[in-house]
Amino acid sequence: MKINAKTKLCVVIGDPVEDSLSPQIHNAGYEELGIDDRFVYAACRISPAALADFVRGAKAMNIRGICSKMPHKLEIMRYLDEIDPVAKTIGAVNTVVNDSGRLTGYNTDWIGIVTPLEALASLKGKRVALLGAGGAARAAAYGVVKRGAELTIYNRTLEKAQLLADQFGGTARPLDDLAAIKSMDIIINNTSVGVPLSQNETPLPQEFITPNHIVFDAVYASGPTRLLREAKQRGAKVIPGTEMLLHQGMEQFRLFTGREAPEEAMRGAFLAALDSRENE
Ligand code: ATR
> Which ligand 1 atom minimizes the distance to the CA of 137?
4
Q: Mean pLDDT across the stretch 251-260?
A: 98
Chain mean pLDDT for the chain: 96
Q: Which residues line ligand 1 (CB under 6 A)?
A: 132-137, 155-157, 160, 175, 190-193, 203
Predicted TM-score (pTM) of the model is 0.95
Phi (first) and psi of residue 217, to 5 degrees: -90, 95
Is 147:118 a contact under the CB 8 Å cutoff? yes
- Mean pLDDT over 180-202 rounds to 95
Element (H, E) at 82: strand 82-83
Give the pLDDT score at 25: 98
Q: Quick one: what percent of the chain has pLDDT higher than 90?
A: 93
Nearest CA to ligand 1 atom 26: 193
Q: Ligand 1: which of 68, 156, 160 to mutate, judged by most atoms within 8 Å of the beta carbon?
A: 156
Confidence check: pLDDT of 243 > 90? yes
Alpha helix segments (H runs only) across 91-134: 109-118
Strand partners, 66: 11, 96
Averaged pLDDT for residues 220-235: 94
> Which residue is catalytic, options 8, 59, 73, 88?
73
In this prediction, residue 278 carries a pLDDT of 76
